[in-house]
Amino acid sequence: MIEIKAFVHRSRAASVVRALRKGGFANMTAVDVKGMVKALDEKEQQYSTELGDRVITEVKLELVCEDDRLSEAADLIRNNAKTDLAESGFIYVSKITAAIPI
């Protein structure tokens, strides 16, 4: 199994989640985070006194899926998170060594 973490602009997060659900992906969470991805416009930015820099509120999507579905999930995220900017966010992939039910 793998874990995918995708950092996307807030305005694109709902489209990404809908596309993933439509694609059959269900094990995911979404969390608002402060990030330094290039802002779509100045209204999206705010100054963080904690970080001492301009930030935006972006969404971190976390998704767990089987290894053989990585390309499919990454394509859905990429295609639905894309903005007019050269970089619209980032996708990170980690191997899960264990999944223990609670």
Tens of pLDDT, residue by residue over 45-55, are 777 777 677 77
Assess contact for 88 and 81: CB atoms under 8 A.
Answer: yes
- Residue among 3, 19, 22, 28 at smallest CA distance from 81: 19
Tens of pLDDT, residue by residue over 54-68, are 777 889 999 999 999
What is the rounded end-to-end Cα distance, in angstroms, of the chain?
A: 17
Instruction: Tell me the whole-structure pTM to 2 decimals.
Output: 0.83
Tokens representing 13 are: 């997060």
Assess contact for 12 and 83: CB atoms under 8 A.
Answer: yes
